[in-house]
Structure 1
Amino acid sequence: MTCLDGLAPLPLSDAMHHACRGGKGLRGFLVMESARLHGVDAARALWPAAAIEAMHAYSLVHDDLPAMDDDDLRRGLPTVHIKWDEATAILAGDALQALAFELVSDARCGEAEARAALSLGLARAAGARGMVLGQALDIAAEAAGTPLDLDAITRLQAGKTGALIEWAATAGAVMAGADTGPLGRYARDLGLAFQIADDILDVEGDEAKTGKRLQKDAAAGKATFVSLLGLDAAKRRARDLVTSACDALSSYGAGAETLRETARFVISRES
């Protein structure tokens, strides 16, 4: 990431680079594709696309910490606190979060009104109304030792996974001053399908392909869509959500076919 160039030669900069390596880049791709649908220049869209990937990377660094999920492998690489230490991981996550807002606020992203709307939306999606809320609900459920029911886990994942996906998918409409409704509906179904696919991979995936430890939720007794619905029903639910997500894009016609293919990819992926 060239946006990290010029940082002092400390472990912090290396840890930030490390956290951003690998991954599918789904959220950044959604920004770019939603921008294309609305005629927003790719040079402008790169800024919020990079911002959402930095925000996502921060969330993974903190999520992997011993106080959270205590993971030692991410994207096929040692997690940041394993490769360096917990303090470096916390600081790298903090810096990536700040970098996300720096990127989305850059003048090259577009007009001030659009940048303000993107920044406000990102704060809400990443904070106590979105991703952080989802993580807090997850930790509270684990501490209580009581598995969540289907409604509760759906709400949890709508924050933890879905909020950033929705921000990404609607960013192009926000930049163009267009209606975010269709892409918002698409993203909410996509985000839930993505999480169900993750739960399925945790049961029948290959660690070499996923790049992370599997079956940790089952070992910890945590509720997942698979544990609540069963494997076959979870797969059907994911397929139904993809169909619904694709239907939400009807107003875009053939122009949204790449987003439809993305939704289908989300539940067929192996990592």
Structure 2
Amino acid sequence: MSSMLGLGVAVMPLQFCTSPKKETAIAELDKSKLDKFGIQLYSIKEDMAIDPQATMRALAGFGYKQFEGFDGGKGILWGMQPAEFKTLLSETGTTMIASHANVFENLDAQAALAAEVGMKYLICPWIGPQKSLDDYRKKAEEFNQIGEKLKSFGVKFAYHNHDYTFVDLEGSLPQDILMDHTDPALVDFEMDIYWVHVANAQPAEYLAKYPGRFKLCHLKDAEPGTGDPHQRGVLLGSGEIPYAELIKQSKELGMEHFIVEQERFPSGTPMDAAKANASYLSALEF
């Protein structure tokens, strides 16, 4: 009997060694945070038009480590020379990860500038709704050609979606056509999670459908409802998109760059929104 009791005493600690409190503590230790995140400069386009350097310095002060640009009429370097632009990035401890650009015109010149300042991507932000799936197939082939051209400069190509590629056309999703008819070695994708969500698609399911194809994403939140999709944008964390879950899953599926984009401002200024979104992402655990 005493030997059996001794065995019971020995076994019990193994059975009950993990208490609920310890499990919670372990779970908390397993949580991660984004070590760096970026912002699409279109979010504060008015400020960029007035003083791009001061604006980028302020954004770096909010915690943004990466920038994604766009051509605001002064070119993808906002009127700065490459050396001046690189100095700004060095002084602020940031990188210019990408720029949205008109990739259908002056591609060589833009690619050369992008390469000189260390950009990883030039991104097509818009092709507009096409009339047929064949038209999307033609765009996919054009994307392959653009990707091949950019490859020679050491720059990658990506396409940024809106809602229209997630709306049924001829029994298929146009986004599927673009995914299936582009070469993964030449064409990456930037998922605008907001536009996928308001198109009533499921960002998580779509990311899982094409693992490794989405390397960048736009983060912006949507208020609940079914109204005008252009009028549902809200600050991160105040809408219905489950970003903690999505960021965790997308990282596991190959997502590398998380970029804030704010296009609607229910209150405050665009810079106020940029600061609030940076605070949200800095504190987010997943």
Shorter chain as denominator, the TM-score bin is under 0.3
Q: Which has the higher helix share?
A: 1
Larger radius of gyration: 2
Q: Which has the higher strand share?
A: 2
